[in-house]
Amino acid sequence: MEQDRRPSTVVHRIGAEGEPLAIIDDFAGDPDALRAAAVAATFGPADQHYPGIRAPLPAFYLEEQLPVIAAVLGRAFGRCRRVHVIDATFSIVTASPTALQLGQRLPHVDAYDPDRIALVHFLSPTDTDGTAFFRHRATGFETVTEERGRAYFAQLNAEVRDVEPGPGYIADDSDLFDRIAVVEARYNRALLYRSRQLHSGAISADAVLSADPAVGRLTVTAFLAIE
């Protein structure tokens, strides 16, 4: 059933670097229709970095949500004349904590460019596992830019060679990272943040990692470029 509520947005500046994090509640007009579309979709393996499965979005999703996204980007990130969609899919985390590769057990960035934006739209009515943001203790970096990349990965690689992180998703402080913010998932809540921020899905140890869109941690994930 279509909601009567309009999107409401709060913009936070997180960490010492003060990067913007936009939280949009009541993001889509009819989230139940999106869940129905996901249930009917055909999911397949994601790329090697995402610990789960993905499926194409219905055409109406971007048609309806891009105006909302553009308005929030202009408010939170200072400008938005145009939004380019690089990638956008339904996504479900399915990998068990013991099956994760090393890179999936650490915070990550998706791009260095400050004009690259990540979107996460939570579509599970019961799952509260959201998204966490981190600071690398040794370097103090909360974002990884092209200028910082070589030093950051050299330091991180040296650290994990000495002591490899244990199994499981990173959702809190660790020996290598401090958590600087976490946003709980809520049905029809969306987040927008720069892809260069160190982040991770805040997946709890007892999470239900079902591949069924009606049961699992269903989200829309998208990568955008703004100009």
Q: What is the per-residue pLDDT across 71-103, written as a single tens digit (0 to 9) for each?
A: 999 889 987 788 999 999 999 999 999 999 999
pLDDT, tens digit, for every residue of 104-153? 999 999 999 999 999 999 999 999 999 999 999 999 999 999 999 999 99
φ/ψ (deg, to 5) at 92: -135, 125
What is the pLDDT at residue 1?
42
53 three-state secondary structure: strand
Alpha helices in 83-181 (DSSP H): 146-162
- State the Cα–Cα distance between residues 144 and 214, nearest whole angstrom: 35
- Cα–Cα nearest to 196, from 12, 19, 16: 19
- State the Cα–Cα distance between residues 32 and 122, nearest whole angstrom: 12
- Band (pLDDT 50/70/90 cuts) for residue 49 is confident
**How far, in whole angstroms, is CA 62 from its chain's centroid?**
17
What's the mean pLDDT when you consider all of the chain?
Answer: 95
What lies within 8 Å, CB to CB, of 180 at 6+ separation is: 14, 15, 16, 133, 134, 135, 142
